[in-house]
Amino acid sequence: MSTETSATTPEAAPSQGYGAVFRVKEFRAVFAAHLLSLLGVIVSEIALTVLVYELTESPLLSALTFALGMLPYLVGGTLFAGIADRYPARRVLVVCDLICAACVAVMIVPGTPVAALLALRVLIAAVAPVFTGTRMAALTDILGEGELYVLGRSILRIVSQSAQLAGFGVGGILLTIVSPRGAITLTLGTFLASAALLRFGTKARPARARGGATLMRESLAGARMVFADRRMRAQILLFWLPAMFIVAPEALAAPYAAHIGAGPAALGLMMCAMPVGHIAAELWVGTRLSAHTRSRIVFPIAAVGLLPYIGYVMAPGLGVTLLLLMLAGAGGAYVLGLDQWFVATVPEYLRGRAMTLMTAGLMTVQGAGMALAGLAAEFWPVHHVVTGAGVLGTAVSALLVWEARRAGARPDGHAPQSVTSPLSTG
């Protein structure tokens, strides 16, 4: 396909807008299922944290309940990624939802030991990257590999950020009305509804590849293929590394609010500022910019997106802090162009594993970034830690952009790069 950028080409044409995505019937089912399962996960996380604390009165175990939502991503996304390509996507998505529903059903049984509750939380978290990666790959079947795919991914990402903002509020209100087990019971319905929407609202399609090895070997082989290819490696690192640094202010929001003498309300505003900036920027980029322009801004925005954190050096008050956080959040809109690069580069037979690995790695590096920011704050003032994250993150991002340019991370066309498959394609 031609990559000419004149005004008459699709690349230079204005965005079709998000409305075009919702005109695809299958996507509407995926969207509704995504919203339901996401709310189910968020509410169950809150309710389970409260339930564990009520049963143990241990702040450590209560906090561990949240941490266990991130830690298994690396294991699930690395060792089980082969599921996304080996089995039909619809079947994988429905089974993942049913596994989560079964875990929740056991959680609500009175007398379930705390150890079992935590183990079930780990299982749900291990399933999550397989579900997300499979859904991302399935979107290319539903929406194609071009503009609609990018906008569809953008919608799901915006919903995820919005649901996190709303979900914690809804979960908190819900817990004033029903018990923690009652709130978890409601999430059982969301997982089952999501499974039904995916089963009856999307088409059955064959698996992308037939497994010729054990699942674990197949999954690890997929990871090796992704990192052995210079272009794919550069692209996946562009997703991961800036995200590792961008979470520093979020991890340190409470101590920073205390440092500037702000109250709980200010802390809530600080936690919301970055997602609000990201949602606003992504909506604008997805609506107003052409696919060609979105591709052109990936490198410059990725390189400078963390610069607002340098403003923390003066320990600014609440107003300036909120502005800095919103600017940093807005910088994340470069991922729309990066989404298109990734889907154009990854071969179809590898797509499910590559996207599962990308999702798992993203959650893992964010968790690592939060932990490292917290560790650094034990030795240096909080505002210096955030400033350092901005300086170091900008340097790392600039080096990564330099490498990505040399690797040709921006595809010249829309055809996936030729990579020889060690498996028979399905």
When pLDDT is cut at 50, 70 and 90, the band that residue 263 belongs to is confident
Q: Quick check: helix, strand or coil at residue 422?
A: coil
**Residue written as tokens 């979900």?**
167
User: Which of 2, 3, 421 lies closest to 212 in space, CA to CA?
Assistant: 421
Tens of pLDDT, residue by residue over 213-252, are 677 787 788 888 989 999 999 999 999 999 999 988 888 8
Residue 423's pLDDT is what?
39
Q: Would you say residue 361 has pLDDT above 60? A: yes
CB-count burial class (<10 Å; 0-12, 13-18, 19+) for 111: exposed
- pTM of the model as a whole: 0.80
Cα–Cα distances (Å) from 79 to 120, 215, 253, 272, 364, in that order, read 18, 8, 34, 34, 14
Select, from the ranges 13-17, 262-266, 273-277, 402-406, the one with the highest average predicted confidence (pLDDT): 402-406
Gyration radius of the chain over CA positions: 21
In terms of pLDDT, which residue wins out, 321 or 67? Answer: 321
